[in-house]
C-alpha cells in the first residue's frame, strides 16, 4: 500500500523561504552540533552527500504528518529497517528494544513512560507512593476507580457521596 502525505502549500515561491543551516552549534563546550528541523516557512541547507546519506528516519504507523513533513524538509530519507536510522517517532518500545538502539539514535519515548502516560497506571503508581510516603505528601490527586475491577468500590462511594458530588469519567489512555 502506498501512502501519500502532502504538506500544505506555502504562499510565495520556494525561493522566498529563509535558508537555515543544517547544523546548529551546541551551546555547551565539547558537544557536537545538532541537526536543524525547519518550519514550513524555512528550508534547510543541504549537507554534503556523505553526511546526507546518514539521515534516515524510521517510519511507523503512528508517525504524525507534521513529523513526516519536518523530516522531509530537513533532507531525511524514510526507512522501515529496524537498525539503520537516526530518528524515530513510533509506538512505545519494550525494554529489549531500548537496549538495542544506538546512542546516536533518538526517539519520542523514554523507557517506562507508559507508567505515567496511561491514566490507570499513573493512578496505580501514585497510590503506591501514597501508601509508602503518606497522604500528607501525596494528596494532590482525586480518588480514582479503575473499571471494571473497582466497580463495587465506585458504587459504594457513589451511594455514600450523595447527589451533589461530581465525577469525571475518562478512558485509561
Flag whether the pTM goes above 0.75: no
- pLDDT level of residue 6 (50, 70, 90 thresholds): low
pLDDT above 60 for 10: no
Q: How many CB atoms lie within 10 A of CB 63?
A: 18
Beta-bridge mates of residue 78:
57
Asked if residues 108 and 99 have their Cβ atoms less than 8 Å apart, the reply is no
Asked if residues 33 and 66 have their Cβ atoms less than 8 Å apart, the reply is no
pLDDT above 50 for 3: no
| The dihedral sign for the CA sequence 10, 35, 94, 83 | positive
C-alpha cell at 163: 447527589
- pLDDT level of residue 143 (50, 70, 90 thresholds): confident
pLDDT above 60 for 144: yes
Mean pLDDT for the stretch of residues 134-141: 92
Distance CA 147, CA 30 (A): 52
Strands 23-24 and 77-79: unpaired
Amino acid at each position: 500500500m502506498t501512502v501519500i502525505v502532502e504538506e500544505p502549500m506555502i504562499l510565495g515561491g520556494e525561493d522566498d523561504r529563509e535558508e537555515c543551516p543544517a547544523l546548529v552549534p551546541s551551546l555547551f563546550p565539547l558537544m557536537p552540533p545538532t541537526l536543524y528541523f525547519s518550519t514550513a516557512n524555512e528550508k534547510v541547507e543541504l549537507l554534503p552527500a556523505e553526511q546526507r546519506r546518514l539521515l534516515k528516519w524510521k517510519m511507523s504507523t503512528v508517525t504524525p504528518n507534521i513529523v513526516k513533513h519536518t523530516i522531509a524538509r530537513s533532507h531525511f530519507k524514510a526507512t522501515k529497517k529496524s537498525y539503520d536510522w537516526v530518528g524515530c517517532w513510533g509506538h512505545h518500545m519494550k525494554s529489549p528494544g531500548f537496549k538495542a538502539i544506538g546512542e546516536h539514535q533518538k526517539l519520542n519515548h523514554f523507557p517506562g513512560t507508559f507508567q505515567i502516560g496511561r491514566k490507570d497506571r499513573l493512578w496505580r503508581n501514585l497510590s503506591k507512593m501514597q501508601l509508602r510516603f503518606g497522604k500528607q505528601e501525596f494528596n494532590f490527586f482525586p480518588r480514582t476507580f479503575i473499571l471494571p475491577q473497582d466497580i463495587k468500590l465506585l458504587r459504594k462511594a457513589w451511594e455514600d457521596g450523595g447527589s451533589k458530588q461530581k465525577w469525571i469519567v475518562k478512558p485509561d489512555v
